[in-house]
Amino acid sequence: MHTYTRRYTGPLQAVIMDLAGTCVDFGSLAPIQAFLMLFEAEGIDLSEAEAREPMGTEKREHIRRLLAMPRIRKQWSSVFGKTPESADIDRLYDAFLPLQTAAIAERTKLIPGAMTLQSWLREEGIKLGVNTGYSREMVNVMLPGLAAQGFELESVVVATEVPQGRPAPHMSLKNAIELGITAVQGCVKVDDTATGIEEGLNAGMWTVAVVASGNAVGLSEEQLAVLNDADRAELLARGHRAMAASAAHYVIDSIADLPNVLAEIGSRLQAGECP
């Protein structure tokens, strides 16, 4: 019995990006702000580093993972006299929604390079979609702000509308279906978290990790700009090391660097390489 294999050597078809920390909300600060406020209201001390650890996951799952952390769990037991239960996760999620929605509404500014990237993709005939750990209600608060800046997306997928959020490939695959993609090898997933890169790898796509604007650094554009050159370089180097560990095919500072990487991926595809 003969088996025939045919490699994909067609063009790059789509770029699928995460939202916060990748193409909007430099530093991915909106979710962090909301999580810190949520736990403070419960009398729980949550550090920013702890809040960032599950970033990229669907937000209810994010809360579940925070409550599973030994230090947080211990505090919860001492405040409430019992370990956290699923009803607590439900209650926290309900309290989280308005906090997150308000924070998102304040942080809809595009990351520098987003509009140049959109123009480049249109010229090349490459489709653009996004997916996110946000719920549909949260995303709906953000989209008008993006549209007002001229950023137009052909597919928007949220974690609560697929069977499994990241690191499962479901969101990226739903993007691919909505965008009319014929081969996942012709898609690139761009993300600022390891779990988002894992999602892209699990979907069989090329992956590009962004560092300066995202979760690995966690500073606003202004905060990063005021650092001296040595401190900024050290912070970025640390972020590059962290995201390289995600096994992303490429690690870049921000989406401003993406067109060059996409051109290289296009050449690799035509040469018969697959992710």
Q: Report which residue type is found at 55.
A: M
18 is catalytic: yes
Residue of 59, 127, 174, 189 marked catalytic: 59
At 60, list the tokens. 């209810």
Q: Is 175 within 8 Å of 155 (Cβ atoms)?
A: yes
Q: Give the strand order in the sheet containing 14-18.
A: 155-158, 127-132, 14-18, 187-191, 206-210, 250-252
127 is catalytic: no
Cα Rg of the chain (Å, integer)? 19
- Quote the CA–CA distance of 210 and 41 in Å, as a whole number: 32
List CB contacts of 196: < 8 A, sequence separation 6 or more.
18, 22, 56, 166, 167, 189
What one-character-per-residue DSSP string does 41-82 give? HTT----HHHHHTTTTS-HHHHHHHHHHSHHHHHHHHHHHSS
b/e per residue, 237-251, with b = 16+ CB within 10 A?
eebbebbeebebbbb
Would you name the residues annotated as active-site residues?
Answer: 18, 59
